[in-house]
Amino acid sequence: MIERFTAEQSAQREWAWLLALYLFLGSLGGCLFLLVRLFGLPPSFAVASIGLVVLGGIVVLIKLGSPQRAWRAMSRPTTSWISRGVLCVAGFIVFGCLSVAPSIAALAWLPWNDGTALGIAFAWVAALFALLTTIYPGFVVSSARAISFWNTPLLPLLFFGYAGLAATGAVLIGSSSVPGGVARVVPWTEALIVVNAALSAIYLLVMKRTGGSARESVHRLNQGSLGAVYWIGVVLVGLILPLAALLWLTTAAVLAGACIQIGALLFRYCVLRAGVYYAPATLTPVGMDFSTLTRTSADFAHEYAGMAGNSAPGRR
């Protein structure tokens, strides 16, 4: 509480684990659905992707202060990224279920499937909503102009990159259920690891050079417990270990996929926790202008001359 009574820069406290988990599950589910279409994966992956998005919805309900009014979150799609996201998630769940339903044996009687015009239409609409579900979390975070570490176009790009990486990681985890194996997915995963590592480095470098609260965010991401989570959890476990496993230990695809999930979740957590507000108040770049006070700068200098002399190095 005391930090709210000082002018020190402070990190936001509102968004932490639960929101990180929600952002992770939502974008993972959306992107996994896209990969099902892209790589022709079994329908079980599509069902899992919808399940992940629904799970994300449950997580965010737990996080809400007043979950009984959650339906109101759709009220302002013209200005609020949360509203847009809720509509996208709702659309994805509805059309995703309609698209996947005929592949479930008990629902095979439905009058559409992947071969009919209606089935194809459902699949395309679901894919569109899946894409929007994947990309909107980055915009939710980057739209906060109070936190310059987030308020950059690089962040949605990075979130999208990590969503893609997590989705390929999920395919690796479920590789045993993919006929013909996941050989096609492995190069994509390796490429995404490299791309995300490069994007992260660029992002942190840009934020460090931006200065102010963004620089403070980068500083916090490199020290203390958050620094340990970032460098061990995100970089080592989430990027280096899976890349090494995929390159030199091809039988460890499931382990690599699991590591990627840990890294992708921790990445979102670290970005959220490192979000430092603008300094609550700034006077002037060089401090208060003494000339506006009754006592001028010269008066102060004269008044404290003796004290300054006593403290000067080398004086006795």
Partner 1 sequence: MAESTTPVTNSKVKWGVAVDLKRCTGCQGCTIACKLENGTPPGVFWTRVIEKEEGTFPLAYKVFMPIRCNHCSDAPCIPVCPSGASYRRANDNLVLIDQDKCIGCGTCVVACPYDVRFMPLSAHGYYGQTKVAFEQTAYEKWQKGTVQKCTLCVHRIDKGLEPACVETCPTKALVFGDLNDSDSQIAKLIRERPHFQPSAELGTDPCLYYLT
Q: Say how far apart CA 46 and CA 97 lie, in whole Å.
A: 9
| Nearer CB in complex with partner 1: 83/222 | 83
The residues near 248 (Cβ < 8 Å, ≥ 6 apart) are none
| Nearer CB in complex with partner 1: 176/291 | 291
Q: Say how far apart CA 40 and CA 37 lie, in whole Å.
A: 5
Task: With beta carbons less than 8 A apart as the criterion, state whether 175 and 251 touch.
Answer: no
> Nearest approach, Cβ of 144 to partner 1 (angstroms)?
5
Q: Say how far apart CA 47 and CA 230 lie, in whole Å.
A: 31
Q: Say how far apart CA 50 and CA 30 lie, in whole Å.
A: 8
| Nearer CB in complex with partner 1: 225/311 | 311
CA-based torsion, 215, 280, 18, 41: positive or negative: negative
Per the structure block, which two tokens stand in for 42? 């079994």
Per the structure block, which two tokens stand in for 37? 């279409």
| Nearer CB in complex with partner 1: 56/164 | 56
> Nearest approach, Cβ of 266 to partner 1 (angstroms)?
20
> Nearest approach, Cβ of 289 to partner 1 (angstroms)?
7
Q: Report which of 101, 117, 137, 104 is spatially closest to residue 21, judged by C-alpha positions.
A: 137
| Nearer CB in complex with partner 1: 66/251 | 66
> Nearest approach, Cβ of 95 to partner 1 (angstroms)?
22
> Nearest approach, Cβ of 2 to partner 1 (angstroms)?
10
> Nearest approach, Cβ of 251 to partner 1 (angstroms)?
43
Per the structure block, which two tokens stand in for 92? 């994805």
| Nearer CB in complex with partner 1: 196/273 | 273
Provide the phi-psi class of 125: left if phi over 0, else alpha when psi is between -120 and 50, else beta. alpha
Task: With beta carbons less than 8 A apart as the criterion, state whether 85 and 133 touch.
Answer: yes
| Nearer CB in complex with partner 1: 44/143 | 143
> Nearest approach, Cβ of 259 to partner 1 (angstroms)?
30
| Nearer CB in complex with partner 1: 10/44 | 10
The residues near 228 (Cβ < 8 Å, ≥ 6 apart) are none
Task: With beta carbons less than 8 A apart as the criterion, state whether 132 and 39 touch.
Answer: no
> Which DSSP state fits 292?
G
> Nearest approach, Cβ of 53 to partner 1 (angstroms)?
18
Q: Say how far apart CA 205 and CA 307 lie, in whole Å.
A: 43
Give residues in contact with partner 1 (CB under 8 A). Answer: 1, 4-7, 10, 12, 14-15, 63-67, 69-70, 72-76, 79-83, 86, 140, 143-147, 275, 277-284, 287-290, 292-293, 297, 300-301, 304, 307-308, 311
The residues near 243 (Cβ < 8 Å, ≥ 6 apart) are 190, 193, 194, 256
